[in-house]
A and B are shown apart, each in its own frame.
Chain A
Amino acid sequence: MDPDPAASFTHWASERQQALLRTAVLLCGDHHRAEDLVQDALTKVAVRWSRLRDQNPDAYARQVMVRTNISWWRRQRREVVLDVRDGAPAAGPSAAVDRRLLLDRALAQLTPRQRATIVLRFYDDLSERDTAEALGVSTGTVKSQTHAALARLRTAAPELAELLEEST
């Protein structure tokens, strides 16, 4: 029995919300939209806190963010979500900024499900099974989506592919 559920939830949420925000930014590519996703997810976790606190609230929050973002994208698919400039990465002080823009542009080439697969597998380091649970698909789909997403990143964003090969 949790004597103070508000305190335990607030403790968990304060610890985890910045990590959730970073996942959300990678999922949707927009900071404001990412904040909305996190706030929505935290509220839904809070509503179910009595059941989730002893389970895996992180997984539920990620699931809410992933699925809400995919639903949102389906409604907005005619819109151009990202406005990133073209150009190859340059050396020097702006290289990090250029890498960031390059990554944004590359991720924008993916479908939201492919994008979520990449983020959950390679940023959140989730297993195929946990990724499948978050997306509501089978592990086979996660495997095929991962393969398709990496292939698409290489073909649609060759500069990123070159960058990815640099360290090999």
Chain B
Amino acid sequence: MTQERLRELLRERVADEIMPDYAGRAWQAARVVRRRHRLGAAAGVVAATVGISAGIAAVQSTPPTAPTDRGISDGSEQPDTTPDTTYQGVPVWWSPDQDEELALPRTDSPLPADLDLGAAVSREVSISRAVAAFARGRTIVLVPPGGGTLLQVDISRLQKVTKPNGYSYLPTSTGMLTSNGEWLVFPQPGQTFAVYRIATGEWSTVDSFSDDADAAPLDLRFDASAAQRYGENRDGAQSFGMGVPLPVRDPADYLSDPEFLIAHGSVLAFMSRLTDGTDDRFKNCCPVAGWLDDDTVVYESRQRTSLLVAWRIGTHDFGLVARVHGAYDVASFALSAS
């Protein structure tokens, strides 16, 4: 019988296929999914409660209490390192989606919890360095370490740079703040650089410039050539655009072929919940901003309210570093573990 022979061939084909026992890891992964579902539901309740409480606070003029809990575990607890899934045998963790990120607990960092770019003032005080720089048209907003007044720097002196294809652009970028936070650097026509020294407010022009921080090699364990890199390589952490079919939490609810980040060999796939288009993640949503410590990478989450999110690599620990209020074109950070 032909179909019986087909059965035999199919069975012969896979008779020696085996895989490691994944049963225990699947149960652990499911616990994480269940916990996230519960947190998602709880976040909704909390958001509603906060909304009601905020209304009451406004009436009673009671200042709100700042959140103080630490989202990233401090190392005293053994973190859950079970990946959410794998791609070509490589472990992959899923980020919180854009809504869940907004509800993450706060994490300590050199950045203030809330960055109101509209409150930046023209240079009145001096700072020696910055931990972040946000480009807004022909202005840069500098964020000093540990908080304090945000400063505006006028960059209208900069000339646009023209690409070989004729496209001209203002040369602000994710790499404009040097890794030590002391300089702003912008490429200019004629293969020169305009350099702004933050401590003194002085501009100069140089023919060449090299940041002290070298981009560490990436530990890439699968072919990512279909996805375009974006942002900076910060000490071995790099973000990639769409193009690699990493599994997502649920294909019915999340954008497939997600953008992702690779940090010291660990892969974080950015979950983007499908919406009506009003609160999506931006394209190239999540450039690497830097590191809080040797194990905790920070990424920028560009969405309706842009955020900085910390991920303890290879775990399910995430925390909210900062919320950014106000529009901006591009941001650059000097967050280093050392």
Q: Please tell me the number of chain B residues within 8 Å of chain A, measured between CB atoms.
A: 40
| Nearest chain B CB to A123 CB, angstrom units | 4
Nearest B residue to A68 via CB reads B251
Contact B9 A103 (CB under 8 A): yes
Rounded to whole angstroms, the CA-CA distance of A25 and B251 in the bound complex is 21
Give the distance in Å from the alpha carbon of A49 to the alpha carbon of B30 in the complex: 9
Can you name the residue of chain A whose Cβ is closest to the Cβ of B25?
A39
User: What total count of A-B pairs have CB within 8 Å?
Assistant: 129
Say yes or no: B23 contacts A35, CB within 8 Å.
no
- Identify which of B2, B13, B256 contacts A26 (C-beta below 8 A): B13
Q: Which residues of B contact A49 (CB under 8 A)?
A: 30
Judge whether A123 and B10 touch: CB under 8 Å.
yes
Q: Which of B1, B12, B89 contacts A32 (CB 8 A)?
A: B89
Of B6, B23, B85, which is within 8 A of A17 by CB?
Answer: B23
* B21 in contact (CB, < 8 A): yes
Q: Is the interface of B mostly helix, strand, loop or mixed?
A: helix
Establish whether residues B21 and A17, one from each chain, have CB atoms under 8 Å apart when the complex forms.
yes
Give chain B residues whose Cβ lies under 8 Å from the Cβ of A163: 5, 9
Q: Are A99 and B12 in contact (CB under 8 A)?
A: yes
How distant is the Cα of A167 from the Cα of B8 in the complex, in angstroms?
Answer: 11
Binding site for A on B (CB under 8 A): 1-15, 17-19, 21-27, 29-30, 33-34, 84-89, 245, 247, 251, 256-257
List 21 A–B pairs whose Cβ atoms lie within 8 Å, in order of A's numbering.
Answer: A9-B23, A10-B24, A10-B27, A13-B26, A21-B14, A22-B14, A26-B10, A26-B14, A34-B17, A36-B247, A39-B26, A43-B33, A75-B245, A75-B256, A96-B12, A103-B10, A123-B7, A123-B11, A123-B14, A167-B1, A168-B2
